[in-house]
Structure 1
């Protein structure tokens, strides 16, 4: 990873269905929602780092769990295996786990699963000279998790599970189980509590507002918190799971639905920027929101919209664009490629990069690259978002192997503009081998490579590392909105 701080055109007969479905599906495949409607403890307390609840109880000096368990079979019957780990963890929080009492300098299998089945994912690791394995930096030599992965094994085991539905419909608190095998025999197991985002929003704006649509999640475990609007991609489904995840971190979060919903534009064509402005005003006035500025967090086309709206409204502070664009693009609908912008302002189309004639039948990525290459200097200048006008921290998150559109290039336009502006506070994270599907941690990542209509890019390893690596930067950037008052 590197860290760096108009009219449309026609010509070649396009496979428009492939283009439209490929673009619209991409964001929803990896980001469509990290929580569902399960009726559990939506107001579970945030995770702490104390306690424990494994097979047999004990406390270490630092407050983490220290469990001892004796094996009773064959050559392993003299082992007293211990586990040290937090009692409760947040779903997006990496955590340490140390397993002791194992044979020294031996290969053992560490297994993860839900409490009723502990063999969902397995990694073979090597113990040290004291018979200890620290999952934060364990050396993986075999199993389901790649070697040399820069993600703690405790959560990498979750990312690489074959159960691609795991966690997405959970809410409140649930148990995770970890086990360890020596020579194929289980010699110990432990459990801990994982806290998931709330599954049910506090309100639905479709019922509470005459024009705005989308669920609102209130801060978990506190009375108030800064406001953040989450903007979905071109799939047209609100990013409910991401908003719920932010609520778990103390934010008042609105997953704003801005097209293809009740009372909204049917297509991503000249969507009024004023709609986002109205949402900003509403969120800042909401009873659980603190501060005078709202944050914007967008994925793909939502990233483009976040940067654009942030450059237009003074009430916007931090802006996060994940797999987005620093230039405005033409819109699209279910019937073809409209010769106009994705967005409008004051009733007029926002200047945009028009689509090229060629390349779309080869891939969506090639179509976008050709469009950028063929745009005139005047078109590019007019379509470039004035990101230097954003009154707050800007975070750009890029997959260097994005196969949907050229995020590194399009985000690079914004990064170059911010670099040349006095006083700009920004960060550009480029994960070289990652694709378009950079999602919040720590959920299964095997679906982040492809959509039903085309590749999203990246490798599983790089996507897992990007998921793990970018999220603390997201929370840090949104944290500049100001302290909560809960």
Structure 2
């Protein structure tokens, strides 16, 4: 499946024709693995602009560009030469991929997230003469290559799930197994998000992408939740003949991180939880389990600010979890016997996830626990995805339809995604081995 893409064009130079080519290797590879990009056949020290262009499933175009200079042999290796401008600067071999953003004619703040994991993200990489700024017409085309970024290996099985109350998709690695089991959840945008589960399966996990509202016959809007739904998903996974027990792991972003913490706290079958950009308390809607109810912290819309460009900043909107009046909302994670991995961006502007992680880890310390690790990234914002995913610092809210500030700086956020993913895989393999 994996191959190298090389497409050539000819350009005139000092009365002769030189074949310029751009090689991307692998040309078809996993979306969480790096690719190398090399341009050959340039004149010594020639200045060029590299561009990437991709299209989402709705037909919107995403673009990125960077300025480079060839070495004395007319060779340009993005792993060795720094970008001198454009959408990023410095030595960033994968910068063209993580800096993809809506093209100038498109609606801004869209996210380039795949919803069909069996189809790759297709990216065209092109080389143009001279340095052309972002948004400007590029110089003459010298060479181009087409790249496919896959979120699941072809031999991974995807099984749509309708088991009791539980809905979702189960991804099973190739082979006889059994495999360590992981439940994968995203935030309050709702629906079914599968791309991270597909990647987890390529790394040897039986991964269940678990929606909890706004999917099939689940509730259409986010209301109160019952932990019994998540417990049923845990029991399903552990009963599956391809899943290795006795415990499973959970991964969650945002609201999903709250459920990951709650499952670790109340369900002994959950032995490892990755909590990405989560809160130490239940938020917005109550969580029920048996006779226990954890009410949700409230959002106060009067504390939302709007920039001159119309971007909503909701950083201060959530009530303070440290206020004694909100103590009943706190997830009592000191009861958990498994291991936590907290992943946060220190410039998260959706809410104060760095503070919430400090609250959680301090609570564990005060109870004599050392069953946690904290990854805190300076300059990173809210949505910390697998590596090389396009960084979206402001994104359209799927419910409200308004742009929400996620925070962070693109380059720092991209580095956080790359580093944290390897640590997440390492954490899950270690505790579920």
Q: Name the TM-score class by shorter chain.
A: 0.7 to 0.9
Asked which structure has the greater RCO (Cα within 8 Å, sep 6+), the reply is: 1
1:232 and 2:190 matched: no
1:432 and 2:340 matched: no
Contact 2:303–2:316 (CA under 8 A) maintained in structure 1: yes
Contact 2:82–2:92 (CA under 8 A) maintained in structure 1: no
Q: Which runs of 5+ in 2 are unaligned?
A: 56-60, 131-138, 306-312
Q: How does 1:53-452 map to 2 (within 5 A)?
A: 53-55=5-7, 71-75=10-14, 77-78=17-18, 81=21, 83=23, 85-113=25-53, 120-143=63-86, 145-148=87-90, 152-156=94-98, 159-160=100-101, 162=103, 168=114, 169=116, 171-172=118-119, 176-183=123-130, 184-197=139-152, 202-206=158-162, 209-219=163-173, 224-260=178-214, 264=218, 268-329=222-283, 331=285, 342-350=286-294, 352=295, 354-355=297-298, 359-360=302-303, 364-368=314-318, 370-372=319-321, 375-376=323-324, 379-380=326-327, 382-420=328-366, 424-446=370-392, 448-451=394-397, 452=401
Q: Which runs of 5+ in 1 are unaligned?
A: 1-44, 56-68, 332-341
* Distance change (3 Å), C-alpha of 1:399 and 1:238: same
**How far 1:282 moved relative to its partner?**
0.8
Structure with bigger strand share is 2
1:10-41: CA deviation from partner (whole Å, max 9, x where unpaired): xxxxxxxxxxxxxxxxxxxxxxxxxxxxxxxx
Structure with bigger helix share is 1
Contact 1:135–1:153 (CA under 8 A) maintained in structure 2: no
The 10-residue stretch of structure 1 (448-457 or 86-95) with the greater mean CA deviation from structure 2 = 448-457
Within the candidate set 404, 409, 429, 1:479 is matched to: 429
Structure 1 length normalisation: TM-score?
A: 0.70
How large is the RMSD of aligned CA atoms in angstroms? 3.6
Q: SS where residue 372 of structure 1 aligns?
A: coil
The 10-residue stretch of structure 1 (87-96 or 217-226) with the greater mean CA deviation from structure 2 = 217-226
For the residues of structure 2 that align with 1:472 and 1:187, how far apart are their CA atoms?
Answer: 36
**How far 1:139 moved relative to its partner?**
1.7
Q: SS where residue 259 of structure 2 aligns?
A: helix
Equivalent residues, number? 401
Contact 1:231–1:298 (CA under 8 A) maintained in structure 2: yes
Structure 2 length normalisation: TM-score?
A: 0.78
* Distance change (3 Å), C-alpha of 1:130 and 1:161: farther
For the residues of structure 2 that align with 1:241 and 1:275, how far apart are their CA atoms?
Answer: 22
